[in-house]
Amino acid sequence: MACIHLALAQLRHGDLDAVDLGPVLDLHSDKRIDALPQRLAAVRSEFTAPRYQGSAQARTLDERIEDFSRQTIVSDLHDLPATLG
């Protein structure tokens, strides 16, 4: 979570080059807690700022976050118990 909070601060300061979410985005699905995709959504919302419009680096990071969130949701769905009938 600290890595995400740091990334948010860096983005709000305009320092996209300093953002390193690799430690979070590279987590294996069984290590992902529910709060991660929620906090990463806040990071994604920072990319709507005019300074990041058209930035290939911001777009790439946004796509990685989207993939991370999608994989987390799919993993969570597989963990649900099967229903009968």
Domain-embedded: residue 62: yes
Domain-embedded: residue 48: yes
The answer to whether 63 and 28 are in contact (CB under 8 A) is: no
Domain-embedded: residue 81: no
At what angle are helices 35-46 and 2-12 packed, to 10 degrees?
10
pLDDT of 17 strictly over 90: yes
Domain-embedded: residue 58: yes
pLDDT tens string 22-73: 999 999 888 888 899 999 999 999 999 999 999 999 999 999 999 998 887 5
Look at the chain and report how many structural domains it folds into. Answer: 1
pLDDT of 85 strictly over 80: no
Identity at 8, one-letter amino acid code: L
The boundaries of the domain holding residue 13 are 2-67
pTM above 0.85, yes or no: no
Domain-embedded: residue 75: no
CA atoms of 57 and 38, how far apart (whole Å): 21
> Alpha carbon of 75 to those of 40, 63, 71: distances in Å?
17, 18, 6
The answer to whether 72 and 29 are in contact (CB under 8 A) is: yes
Identity at 4, one-letter amino acid code: I
Domain-embedded: residue 63: yes
The answer to whether 14 and 56 are in contact (CB under 8 A) is: no
